[in-house]
Chains A and B, each alone.
Chain A
Amino acid sequence: MQTAMAKTLVSPSAPLHLAGVEGRGAAVAAPGPILLRPERPEAPAAPAPDRSPLGRARRWVKLNAAAIRAILLGALSIGLFILAWHVLTSNRMILYVRFVNVPSPEQVLESARTAFSTGAFFDHIYISCRRIFLGFAIATLVAVPLGLLMGRFQLLKDFVFPVSEVLRPIPAIAWVPMSIMLWPTNEESIVFITFLGSFFPILINTLHGMANVDEVLVRAARCLGASERATFREVYFPAVLPQIFTGLTVGMGVAWVSLIAAEMISGQFGIGYFTWEAYSLVQYPDIALGMITIGVLGLASSFLIRLLGRAVTPWSRAK
């Protein structure tokens, strides 16, 4: 019966009042332009949520359906890949591309078992990781401050940028002969190649980030009394941080590419050397083992960087 009263018109000269309030309905004789609806009766309380473990689990599945589906599809896709690999290699198929000498998943698993039981394989991994860490860390420590300063001081940028642009397109692998001449030890030349590979992506991304810093934020800081140094620390650096991490992720990828190339050509240890040596020694399963290891290491290091990036930019996570 409240709906019947709901469309009562309120006269503009009369003070506004709620239609449907007892005894007032009759007073509204002259219709005005404002039409007030009666207040709704309180909505019935929602049924209490099922708090049992089963109910919670059901809701969790519902809320995370997309992620669960992605994981299942991912597992399926990798499973299918291994299955195809198995079929192609165990039947030694020739589809123009020749799978005759390609090791099967079973053979690779077998060689992995052997490799994991000896220390030599882990030494290779350790040495590669150390080279990556050194080259990448030095690149970060040089490229990030350089990029920040170049972004802030045009004079420095105008001076340094041309050289950087000329050197940047040279692939790290083309540096191998030069690097061997430059550095006293083989180890240093490989770290140098790794450094070069990651240096430019980090520098360029830092520069880009600096170019995109919102000038208004700098102004805001200045009229809150920030000095040049404080502005750098409190505004430029955090503003560029997400872009720096983009550079670090790309740089890490290129670092691995460069490292493996360098190890294959001039190394005596390392996972790239292991892979190339397997080919020379006709240990075909070890080639695939080396490749997979490189893939897993590259993936893991990118993941670590992304994790670190998320940890140091908590504001970009808040939605």
Chain B
Amino acid sequence: MAVPPVPPAQTGLIEVSDFHLAYDTLDGAMVAVSDADLVVRPGEFVSIIGPSGCGKSTLLNAVAGFLKPTAGRVTVDGEAVKGPSADRGMVFQQYSLFPWKTVRENVEFGLKMRGLGRSERAVAARTLLGLAGLSAFEDHYPDRLSGGMKQRVGIVRALATGPKVLLLDEPFGALDAQTRIIMQQILTNLWQRLGISVLFVTHDIDEAIFLSDRIYVMTARPGTIKAEVTVPLARPRDAALQLSPDFIQLRADLGALIREESLKAMGGELNEDALKGLAVNLNGSNLAQVV
């Protein structure tokens, strides 16, 4: 299906600058994120990748308004983020659909909070559910949906209020590989039609490359931005892109960057040599004998 051109987005500029976030503990402050800067321009699709525990979700939650930075600024369109708002739609890894609401009631939720009437809500929700291929399930409770369906509901629910930016926290992490690829295409499609800014957190390198205009790579805790990568791949992108040399090269480069950090995140004892079994001195005997 040809995607009609959308006028370039005017809003949805996310700016995070000098971001610090630390928790108080008995042993003093525990720094989660330190000195992070990032920008998402209007209409841009930007991902954050990094090893687990690096604070990428922390950054996203700060943009959503759930966390306050210890120091630094988080603004959307120049306005400081003070708390959660319907201007910033969010999609969670755990789907987070309201189990007591049907699929359509879930999608209508944001519009209901805005005070829209019953019939207006229903019209908007049905349109969005149609885009996500879920028309037949509007009266189902979320319990009865598959993971991919639940997350499609999660995405259109976040889009229903017409947010300036969409924030996604490892939204496809719980899905199987095949479903994930299809979900990525659906998300790309929705993003192109709506022309809004997206900030996407993932630990899946392929996913980040396939979806993004730019990628921020984070270091192990205390997390900060280690690299900013522009994805040189044209759109529209399809699944075959993953076989192109550019894609493969980028994946290798990003993989190397993140591997370093993942090893750090897993504790200082692991390094490349240890993984190959060279660093452990077994006094000449082999491992089977020792164990």
Contacts and interface: CB of A to CB of B under 8 A. Distances in A.
A216 B86 CA distance: 16
Contacts of A316: 99
Interface string A210-224: 000010110111111
B84 interface: yes
A145 to B, nearest CB: 19
B58 interface: no
Given A223-B88, A318-B144, A238 B113 contact: no
- Prevailing SS type, chain B contact patch: loop
Nearest to A217: B96
- Taking residues whose C-beta sits less than 8 angstroms from the other chain, chain B's interface range is 20 to 34
Contacts of B84: 219, 222-223
Interface of A: 214, 216-217, 219-227, 230, 234-235, 238-239, 241, 313-316, 318-319
B141 interface: yes
A234 B85 CA distance: 17
A216 B92 contact: yes
A235 B110 contact: no
B94 interface: yes
A318 B100 CA distance: 10
B118 interface: no
B85 A220 contact: no
- Nearest first, the 7 A-B pairs at minimum CB distance are A225-B86, A224-B110, A222-B84, A238-B100, A223-B84, A225-B113, A220-B96
Interface string B133-170: 00000001101100000000000011001000000000
A316 B101 CA distance: 11
B100 A239 contact: yes
Interface in B54-99: 64-66, 83-86, 88-90, 92, 94, 96-99
A226 B100 contact: no
A319 B100 contact: no
B98 A238 contact: yes
Contacts of A225: 85-86, 110, 113-114, 161
B20 to A, nearest CB: 22
Given A219-B66, A223-B66, A318-B141, 19 more contacts: A216-B94, A217-B96, A217-B98, A219-B84, A221-B109, A221-B113, A223-B64, A223-B84, A224-B89, A224-B157, A225-B86, A234-B109, A235-B98, A239-B100, A313-B100, A315-B101, A318-B140, A318-B143, A319-B144
